[in-house]
Structure 1
Amino acid sequence: MTTQRNDPHFRPIGEYAEAQDKNDDEVGKPIEEIESLCMRCGEQGVTRLLPTYIPYFKEVIVMSFSCPHCGERNSEIQSAGEIQPKGCIYTIHVTNKKDLDRQLIKSEFCTLSVPELELQIPAKRGQITTIEGVLNDTLRDLELDQPLRKHMQPEVYEKIESICDRLREILGEHRVDEEAAPEEGATESGTMRSLGPVGARHEENEGADTRQFRPFKLGLDDPSGNSFVEYTGPIESGGGADNKWSKRDYPRTKEQNILLGLLADPDAPNKPADAVGGGGLSKELGETEFENEEIFSFAGTCSSCNAPIQTLMKKVNIPYFKDIVIMSTNCDRCGYRDNEVKSGSAISETGRKLTLQVNDSEDLSRDILKSDTAGLSIPEIDLHLAPGTLGGRFTTLEGLLQSVYDELYEKVLMRGDSAKVGDVNKFEGFLGKLKRAISAEACPFTLILDDPLANSYIQNPYAPDEDEQLKVETYERTFEQNEELGLNDIKVEGYEQEDGKKADEAPAPAASVP
């Protein structure tokens, strides 16, 4: 990502500081001050604006408001650059206290989540802070109304207090007893941990540096693409050398473009989906020229919270392959999501083994369909996944490897104290190899996709011509493979005669004796 170093309005803070020391008027005044209305007391306060840019990121405007009448303070950051072509998702695996010091830039459209705490911070205002700073602000906001909740909503108080205890454990702090004697900054009803950004008060645990640290995952989802999380390693790697840091770009949905103001909200309402079908585009009404554009909806229950949900299904044709069925489930109540891909054709008579030679980053952008019966392996990095791992996925090769990385990291390295140090270090080395494969630094390497049902697919960009990097082998399934798939017990021919024969041979019922 480039920055405009010659732009006189966006200079690094270091240049402003040097200009002030040398009394250089060419650089200009670094901070602009304007009068602003204080929303707390209604008097006039002062907002200070500093246009600058963050190296290796982009131009930003840092804003700070202060009111001399009531002491109200507020600060935020806004992006001064353009909205990025795609949204971004950052995933940070925080495994020790040092990771809390990573710098974090959050735009006003960014949503933060911590799955281990079932905590989600909605998009609000832009910030430039650290991971520890975000958790501190969250803890302060949650504690603010806890004394009132304790008497008015005891059940809600207990749930929020459990989250606060986990945050205190991460930050190395302990709860201040509400029955303690009033001290500086305390109220008559008890003692608060924090009184806001000015005069904040908290107590740290003794021996916080040597405490047991339970790992957790922090996720940032920003449809504008203007958020950022610091990574370790050389700048040239772009985060590829940091095994705890990952970034994934994604195309925005229509709703997200409307939220960002890139699209106008259409006046016409969307066509509702029926109970058994509907939605999508209709060929009969002239909305599309293609088949398989209809989206079917089926009612069901959420496997996580048992709330009523809708499962969406759509048939898709992959050129030079076969039809597949994509199923998507999304629960609005608990946030549970599930995506799955199934074959829309008959069972193949033979299995298929696909071997792809990955030479550069362009090969990582190939579309790939991995069915739930396919096994995946990369011999160069000792990666071997049994059939059924990850389920059915239709994504790119890079996206599939990233999913493997996330699954392995969460299931192996996020176990905390139960994991042995030697095993964790060994597995971190393996994840480093996988991360280099995702960033194409480990190229060339070989990807093998073995599917006994031949329902997997790797895109051939030269189709219908042959792809020299992709080798396709068909083979007869063994008896054991058919047994695992349940094909040995399937009888599709002559079963009507067999059932009729069994009915004729059945003995007549015995006569009842009065």
Structure 2
Amino acid sequence: MLLTSIPFFREVIVMSFHCDHCGFQNNEIQSAGTIRPEGTVYTAKILTRTDLNRQIVKSETCTVTIPELDLTIPPHRGQLTTVEGTLRDVLADLGSDQPLRRVQNEAAYNKIESILDQIRQILADEQDEEDEGSTGEVKVPKASEKNVPMKPFTITLDDPAGNSFVEFIGSMSDPKWNMRTYKRTRQQNIDLGLINPEDEPEPETKPDEQLGGGFEGTNEEIFIFPGTCSSCGHRSDTLVKKVNIPYFKDILIMSVNCDKCGYRDNEVKSGSAISPQGKRITLKVEDREDLSRDILKSESCGLEIPEIELVLQPGTLGGRFTTLEGILDQVYEELSEKLFSDARDDEGAFERFLTNLKQVKNAERPFTLILDDPLANSYLQNLYAPDPDPNMTTEVYDRTWDQNEDLGLNDMKTEGYEGDPNLPQNQVKPEADKKTEAPSS
């Protein structure tokens, strides 16, 4: 047993066992610290063979997922290993029972065999000729040292106790690495032994609180609209609540949470009339305190950070009601998930961009945030309200004809629409004609 400290993580207890008679060996790891107040999710993009050497700390409460392989490793014993070591453990654990599965359940055998074949292609053991050393032992090179192509994949560690870890390269600005935290559910707290399952559960969080808002709503009524989940097709209701944002306006928060597949989404719509002018908000972000500002980004709002050449067109991410840190996390996750594999041949330009974005979302460098909303339905919290914020400026401007055209405002008629559309210039019929007009059959 060894008490050791993992850099940038915490102290852990490593337990190793080896039998000289039969050769059996095993190692486990336990946290030497306390359970974190929040759960953690670590994500690493394994794009090259050197990434297989990334160190992994997997606690006994951690779930490991590799989406590209349709592989989920449930919580088990703690381990201190690498990405390659994790794959080899899966290969050994699942492969040992394959002959029996082939006889008892051929469908399960074929499914598991397809996963094992993909793991074998990543490890590429069959590509190497086994070399015998002077002692007669067979030496198999590590998968990270082999010069053969490898299919990229993603590995995710979800630990409600927060005691797991995936190594980053260089610093936390590593564009292939990401960490986010989340609030544990009641059942997760029960599984961790933090609360008594017989205790009365706390009141459920209101939908607007689930979406990260700290605003007080004047309308407590929650509307429920029946519908179906866009992910699995099962019944899933949409909750809608009206919320008032101080020093701004009323908004509508729509939340969907599917009990069947776990799909979650939220969206924000304006609950007020269309503003006659657009609004541009500029914020100078200097420290981490600015990342906690509440932000409402509507569908019509564009987002820009000139220092890293980040430009999000209106409609990107939809309507979001969160914090500045939260929306930057969403931008990073969307870009890393959808564009990483397509941008690998750009001489590292996209990796440098993600590194800069990681520095920005961690407030490691000052930057400028610009929200441009022609409908003025977006909001950024003023920490000094009702006094002016020295780091934030708000500019009101007249929309151009093209902007009104894109928003459908040029064809919108709010007066005189009760007239006969067949009349020239949409004129209203005189009252005398209306009185003598015969009723339709």
CA distance in structure 1 between the partners assigned to 2:144 and 2:20 by the alignment: 39
Q: For residue 95 of structure 1, what is the aligned residue in structure 2? A: 47
Correspondences of 1:190-269 after superposition (within 5 Å): 209-233=146-170, 237=171, 239-240=172-173, 242-265=174-197, 267-268=199-200
Note the C-alpha offset of 1:468: 1.4
Change (3 A) 1:348 1:158: farther
Give CA deviations for 1:97-148 in whole Å, capped at 9, x if unaligned. Answer: 1111111111222222223233332323221111112222223333344334
CA distance in structure 2 between the partners assigned to 1:361 and 1:279 by the alignment: 27
Change (3 A) 1:223 1:317: farther
- Name the SS for the 1:91 alignment partner: strand
CA contact (8 A) 2:220 2:241 kept: yes
CA contact (8 A) 2:51 2:144 kept: no
Q: For residue 238 of structure 2, what is the aligned residue in structure 1? A: 311
Match of 2:250 among 323, 343, 356: 323
CA contact (8 A) 1:172 1:204 kept: no
CA distance in structure 2 between the partners assigned to 1:439 and 1:368 by the alignment: 17
Change (3 A) 1:210 1:374: same
- Name the SS for the 1:309 alignment partner: coil
Opposite residue 126 of structure 1, the aligned amino acid is: G
Q: For residue 454 of structure 1, what is the aligned residue in structure 2? A: 376
CA contact (8 A) 1:280 1:294 kept: no
Give yes or no for the alignment of 1:116 onto 2:68: yes
Match of 1:139 among 91, 111, 123: 91
Q: For residue 346 of structure 1, what is the aligned residue in structure 2? A: 273
Note the C-alpha offset of 1:469: 0.9
CA distance in structure 2 between the partners assigned to 1:151 and 1:299 by the alignment: 46
Change (3 A) 1:152 1:217: same
Match of 1:442 among 365, 373, 386: 365
Higher relative contact order (CA 8 A, sep 6+): 2
Q: TM-score, length-normalised on structure 1?
A: 0.70
CA contact (8 A) 2:207 2:255 kept: no
Give yes or no for the alignment of 1:375 onto 2:297: no
Opposite residue 276 of structure 2, the aligned amino acid is: E
Structure 2: segments with no counterpart, 5+ residues: 128-137, 209-215
CA distance in structure 1 between the partners assigned to 2:420 and 2:247 by the alignment: 39
CA contact (8 A) 2:301 2:371 kept: yes
Percent pairwise identity: 57
CA distance in structure 2 between the partners assigned to 1:499 and 1:316 by the alignment: 38
Q: For residue 431 of structure 1, what is the aligned residue in structure 2? A: 354
CA contact (8 A) 1:174 1:203 kept: no
Give yes or no for the alignment of 1:399 onto 2:326: yes
Match of 1:486 among 397, 404, 408: 408
Give yes or no for the alignment of 1:126 onto 2:73: no
Q: TM-score, length-normalised on structure 2?
A: 0.81
Note the C-alpha offset of 1:337: 3.4
CA distance in structure 2 between the partners assigned to 1:296 and 1:101 by the alignment: 51
Note the C-alpha offset of 1:204: 8.4
Opposite residue 339 of structure 1, the aligned amino acid is: N
CA contact (8 A) 2:49 2:143 kept: no
CA distance in structure 2 between the partners assigned to 1:393 and 1:433 by the alignment: 23
Give CA deviations for 1:221-274 in whole Å, capped at 9, x if unaligned. Answer: 2222221111121xxx5x12x2212222333344433333333335557899xx
Opposite residue 309 of structure 2, the aligned amino acid is: D
- Name the SS for the 1:449 alignment partner: strand
Q: For residue 464 of structure 1, what is the aligned residue in structure 2? A: 386
Stretch moving more, 393-402 or 334-343:
334-343
Q: For residue 135 of structure 2, what is the aligned residue in structure 1? A: none
CA contact (8 A) 2:50 2:144 kept: no
Change (3 A) 1:482 1:439: same
Note the C-alpha offset of 1:315: 3.5
Opposite residue 348 of structure 1, the aligned amino acid is: S
CA contact (8 A) 1:103 1:131 kept: yes
CA contact (8 A) 2:50 2:145 kept: no
CA contact (8 A) 2:295 2:322 kept: yes
Give CA deviations for 1:431-486 in whole Å, capped at 9, x if unaligned. Answer: 2222221222321x211111122221111111111101111112222232222223
Note the C-alpha offset of 1:93: 1.3
Note the C-alpha offset of 1:69: 10
Number of equivalences: 416
Note the C-alpha offset of 1:387: 0.9
Q: For residue 83 of structure 1, what is the aligned residue in structure 2? A: 35
Note the C-alpha offset of 1:424: 4.6
CA distance in structure 1 between the partners assigned to 2:57 and 2:344 by the alignment: 34
Q: For residue 112 of structure 2, what is the aligned residue in structure 1? A: 160
Change (3 A) 1:267 1:473: same
Opposite residue 425 of structure 1, the aligned amino acid is: G
CA distance in structure 2 between the partners assigned to 1:280 and 1:369 by the alignment: 16
CA distance in structure 2 between the partners assigned to 1:494 and 1:408 by the alignment: 47
Note the C-alpha offset of 1:82: 1.1
Change (3 A) 1:127 1:206: closer
